[in-house]
Structure 1
Amino acid sequence: MLCPRRKRPVKDEDFSAIVVPSMKGHGYLDYTIESHPSKAFQLMDELRHHGLLCDLVLRVTYKDAVVDFKVHKLVLAACSPYFKAMFTSNFKECLASEVTLKDVCPQVISRLVDYAYTSRITVGEKCVLHVLLAAMRFQMEDVAKACCDFLIKNLEPPNVIGIARFAEEIGCVELHQRCREYINSHFSEVIKEEEFFSLTHCQLLELISQDSLKVLCETEVYKACTDWVRWDAEARSQYFHALLNAVHIYALPAKFLKRQLQSCPILSKANSCKDFLSKIFHDMTLHKYLPPTPYRGTKLFYVAGGYNQQSLASMEAYDPRNNTWMQLAPMEQPCSGLGASVLFGLFYTVGGRNLSMQSNNADSATLSCYNPMTNQWTQLASLNTGRNRVGTGELDGSIYAVGGSQGSTHHNTVERYDPETNRWTFVAPMSVARLGAGVAACGGALYVVGGFDGQNRWKTVERYQPDTNTWHHVASMNTARSGLGVVSIDSYLYAVGGYDGQRQLNTMERYNVGRDVWEPVASMVHSRSAHGVTVYHDKLFVF
């Protein structure tokens, strides 16, 4: 017997079966195919390449070239607010089957259309700027960001000014900001490139007016200005005085300023500029009170070497802006009892001793220089004699190494280092030997405070006058101290902590240079000796 074939159900009412719901009453189907969007776009891209279902022709005209691209409006609108507005608003292009795009390279449009369908773009470095410009024009933010990231990653001194100018012209704020940051951080390299000399005087003035400019010494800023003027002296000399006003003139070394006044060809033809610098140089030589100069770049406090069961080679830096420490390149040899100075942006360590199992514990005569731009150390001319627990100070562009000891001999001798000649020379000795003395410059003189001669712990203070190469005693401290820290703020010297022969001290006293008198000031929370002190924004920091 043949049974009649049932018809295939095509409507809900054709189903005779009764669906019994789950006893729990909340069953449902939720299924996502992750590959569906990419497969859909892949199919649309295939349709585009075959010219199928395309509802728009993009006619791209560039110079003498005319190129047509068959596309789908929906795809362009999905990835570009520009095209979305064009095709969904009351613009004439909304119903048009052909749209003309002018002044954009067809190769660039080809890459952007490919991206719209495939979410991938490949661009050579010579074409990136063109693609970025088009991406900004058509509001394709992801492409624009990818181009910016690529350009930022490939910033170099020869190209950064051109890219910065381009970013400013097209309104790409982030790229422009990153270029400015790069220029500030690599100023000494950028000013050697040809692009630098294409800056207008307004652009150069804006650049050197920034305190975020990272330079070792203000001489780099001054030289950048003179080099820029010399590039076209006839046209640019008129801007030199305005540029000098943006240079931190009072931060220039007096020796450098003197040489410029004597031999700078730009100054020889600019009398007003020469008079301006001559007055400042005169104030420097008379050691008048000079106005404080803003910091360039990042102000860091360096802590090098020291002792923790043995001498240390490590070096750290403290950033007072965000209260953080960072590790820097270590010294070549462990060292404690060293002196340290900063001169023209370079950090110098002087003398000391290597107290470790691997060394002979000899007192050192080495001079090492750390360059924060390269994070590298360089060995320079050695002292004439080894000096452990040496005091150091900076005055008139030179470093002074004061006292210290070598073996059982305590020194009253003093040496001066000239960074221009890389030589140490002896100057007049102090009246007594001093180990662990505090040293600071104030008012054109070098002050040496306290110390220890092997038997006596001193409260006496000596002042060195470099113009006469002589030492003079001034008022003594109230407390004898060795291993103290000394800094100058305005016309005061601060003697901080130290050791009085029986205990470490937390007391601090201040010397009034004008009145020649010491007076006590607030004590520290903790007692300290053989520590470091520095000044930042008229505040005293102790390490």
Structure 2
Amino acid sequence: MGSGASKKSAIKSVSNNRIISLPHQHSNEHINLLVKGLSVLRHNSALCDVTICINETENGPPLKFPSHKCVLAASSGYFRDKLGVSSHGFEEIETSAEPDLTSPKHVNVTLDFSISKKSMEVVLQFLYTAIFDAKINQLPAVLEAAVRLDIASLKRRCLNEIMNGFHTDSFQAMYKISNELDLSLFKDFLLSKIAADFVNFVDTDCFQRLTENELQDIVNNRNGTLSNNCIIPELQMFNAIIKWQKHDQRERIASAVKLLKTLHYAKIPQSTLSGYVINQSIVIDNKELFGIVENVLDADKKRILNRLKQKNSTHNGAGDVIMPTRTTVVVTGGRRFDQFTSTIRELNIKEDTWKEIGRMPSTLAYHQVAAVDNLLYVVGGLESSRPDVRGSAATWRFDPMKNEWETLQEMHQERAHFFLGAVDQSVFAVGGKSSNLIRTSVEKYNITTKKWEFVASLKAPRFSHAGCVYKHCLYISGGVVRKSSTTDLLRYEVSTNHWEALTPMRSLRSSHMMAAVRDRILVFSGECLNQGINESLSVALECYIPQEDQWHKVAQKISFQGEKECACAELDGLVYLIGGCGSNVIDHRNDVASYDAEKDEWKSVAKLPTRLRGASCCLLML
């Protein structure tokens, strides 16, 4: 008995001295109650021993937020300093010192920076509850508050939310914050996102608003120096800087020249340097920049450039060479009734006049033209109106600086009433017809090899469609398929050699016009055929937003007189519609108009010297 009693006594002694330590997950209930209790206390202004005073505006009255010192000091380095909590007061140390019970019971802390009431409420809610409840447009202000208040957890949360939902439209605001708050990693993130989506970024309003320093940082980081290793090609950056400068030509000219001088022109193809880059007015007008580009050209290109200077340039009183600098709309061929023409005319936009600048090797209508490196490619078409005439497979190239024509390899198939688009160093001929034979085929002309080859075909034979080039892709709309106009919208990815069907137009149309303008694609007029019978268009002008894959109705009718078979080109944000005919094909037109998509405004332009339909046009430097 004695021995048993002794054992029980020992066990009881051990049990009474045992320390109970629950695993962390079982303490969540207590933590939640503690957080909820603190939040309720703040909400009721109970036991609050500090008041935070903020100023939303310089002259406005201060706003007050009752709080608890222990919560603020535990979460914020800023408030620890303001409340006089030393570094020892925030670390767990063994001490026998008596607690300081003589400090004032209640203090006021006035923030030495501006912050909105909404942002302060978000900060306090996070400190008391760990709940982050902020709208997207509040994130920059809350992030700034988190950095200035030295709240690391809130700063990380804000940055994660901003990065996960980042859109290029907010780049400028975010970039300013990254500089002001010295957030280098966040700054690198922003620059890498812009580099990765630079093709789309240059078409945004945010890009046009960039300051010189902001654009300079993007230029400096274009060569894959950031974590995502994204590279912006030199030619793409060159075009972007010129586009940025044109938004405010007088104020930005010096900045643009400075930025252009930092580019590596040796990375741009020689043909592009001599045929495009060195012909830009901003390069020609600055001797130092012109010299930088000229020095990169190889010996052959320099000899060509010197010959072009002697042949095509004029001289001012000082004897300086003045190169052609005018980017203009050039219209080729077309027909007036049964008379086909080979005339090439330019529209002098400044003087609002038309001028003949040459003749094509053949009379043509329903052909197509495209410009690459300021060389004009003329492809296909019809040479007469006889119904038995087949389409042409001919391909010519015209050098406007030398006024010389070159005959190139013919297409594999004849075609007229088709679309021709240039992407990089290739020209694509899409669909069309030859006599009664309607094409599904698509051919690509490689400018380097000077050869045509077949690429991915259309799914259905198609002619009298319209097209444009946007973001290195071909877009085709409408056209006649099986004797009827269509609403189709197709996109050809050059890199993958693949056609994709997109959201169709709202109206059936063929023999219409199509143009890419900044971040949108516009289609104009045309005809609506239903098994060969002409019907009325439901919408005259539609707008397609590629980023949304959606069409929007712009106008039921437009003021331009030509309804179909017009020539169409875009220059500096304006779409030029030229010639064409009315619903009755004998109603040939010589009207010319420009459309400003931003302002939704039409403006009459100098009329053609003769009525024309079935012409084709593009842009050239003359």
Alignment TM class, shorter chain as reference:
0.3 to 0.5
The normalised TM-score by structure 2 is 0.41
The normalised TM-score by structure 1 is 0.47
